[in-house]
Each structure stands twice: as C-alpha cells, then as structure tokens.
Chain A
C-alpha cells in the first residue's frame, strides 16, 4: 500500500498569506492520479486539483498544484477567509486507493 504523508499537520496563517502544503508518497505516484481535496467542517470534501496540477471546475486560480514522483505540493497564493479548511491529498493508480492524513489551515 502506498502511504501518503502530509505536512505540516496544521498551518497557522493570516488571510492574504501564502500557504504551502506538502504531500509525500512512500513510492512514486503517477501524477495523473494525484488529487487534492478541500474539506470544511460538516461538509463533504470538494475536488480542488486533479492530475497533480489541474484545477477542477470553479476553483479559483489562487490554488495551484505541482510535483511529481513522490513529492507533491498544493499552494494557495493568497489565503482568502473561505480557504481555512482541511486539505487532503489522494492517489490512485494501484489499489488500494489512499488518502493523506490531511493538513489543517487555520487562521493565525
């Protein structure tokens, strides 16, 4: 099973600041199958980024994804108040499909 490790566990930032979230895989991941989701309290996750770097429909361009192999990054260029949430990376390509443990972006 490929394990995804997200860091940091919690990121404390102010609105307007830049957020950089890391997702590291225990084995190389096909970028086609690396995905990022946003989850707010009491809500289902929402698709943000697919294929490591493609924004899903309706996602603002302040969100960007990058990376390859075992290291992937989600960047939020300028935090908007609505961006404070938990972010999960997820991979497929081989079973079982796995999620990272999540990074919480909280207001400082």
Chain B
C-alpha cells in the first residue's frame, strides 16, 4: 500500500514537498517513482529513487526535483522547487516491479495546486 501526503496548496516560486508512506512490503526491494497528472491531461514520469541513493529524473524537471527514501520511516519523498501553475497536478507515488518491468502498485494520488 502506498499513501501520498503533503500540502494541497503551494505558492508560486515555493517548494512542493510530498511524502509517500509505504506499507505491506519491503521499501528496500523496489525502485520508487513519482508520476504526475495535470487536471484533464495525461501522465508524466517525474523520476525514481532507490534506498541506495540511486536516482533518475525526467530531464524536463531535472534541475528542480529531488527524491529520497527514508528506510527508518518507510517513506519516499519528493521535493520540487520553484513551482509554477504548470506544476498543478495530481501526484502519484508508484512502485516499479523489476519482475514485470512496470508500475504494479500505485498510491491513490494527491492533488497539489500552485496558486497564490
């Protein structure tokens, strides 16, 4: 089970910070991803993170995003700096399964609006 949490409203130019709580499985066994979906639009991959510290980000966001895994809390985090209205979206946490090479478990998503 994955559960995203964080502020639903962020001001322009500020930092968007979200947490994904992982339960029912080993956080060290998977790559953890963030994916977002602007209202009425398609899915955009933000990036992945692994407990070893390995990360990879979408070049479209590379300079603004950081992700990490906290094994002591069983949580994955996302930070996106200098947000604009274009960052308004539902943000999903998703588990990448190496066995099927796909996102096999998704959180319910959390809506984040960027507005003053």
Q: Measuring CB to CB, which residues of chain A are less than 8 angstroms from any residue of chain B?
A: 1, 32-33, 35, 37, 43-47, 50-51, 54, 56, 88, 90, 92, 95-102
Contacts of B92 in A (CB 8 A): 44-45
Nearest B residue to A32 via CB reads B101
- CB pair B56 A45 closer than 8 Å: no
User: Is the Cβ of B106 less than 8 Å from the Cβ of A92?
Assistant: no
Given contacts A47-B100, A51-B100, A90-B43, 20 further A-B contacts (CB under 8 A): A1-B59, A32-B101, A35-B101, A43-B108, A44-B92, A44-B94, A44-B108, A44-B109, A45-B43, A45-B103, A47-B104, A56-B104, A92-B101, A95-B56, A96-B59, A97-B58, A98-B45, A99-B42, A100-B42, A102-B42
Which A residues are CB-close (under 8 A) to B104?
47, 56
Residues of chain B whose beta carbon lies under 8 Å from any beta carbon of chain A: 42-45, 56, 58-60, 92, 94, 100-104, 106-109
Residues of B within 8 A of A50 (CB): 100-102
Show 8 A/B contacts (Cβ-Cβ < 8 Å), sorted by A: A33-B101, A35-B102, A44-B107, A47-B100, A90-B102, A99-B44, A99-B45, A100-B42
User: How distant is B32 from chain A, measured CB to nearest CB, in Å?
Assistant: 13
Expressed in whole angstroms, the minimum distance between the Cβ of A26 and any Cβ of chain B is 16
Residues of A within 8 A of B45 (CB): 96-99
Complex contacts, B103 vs chain A, CB 8 Å: 35, 37, 45, 47, 90
Closest 6 CB pairs of A and B: A44-B106, A50-B102, A50-B100, A35-B102, A99-B43, A97-B45
Question: Complex Cα distance A88/B41, Å?
Answer: 11
State whether B101 touches A101 (Cβ < 8 A).
Answer: no
A100 to B60, CA, bound (A): 16
Inter-chain contacts of A97 with B (CB < 8 A): 45, 58
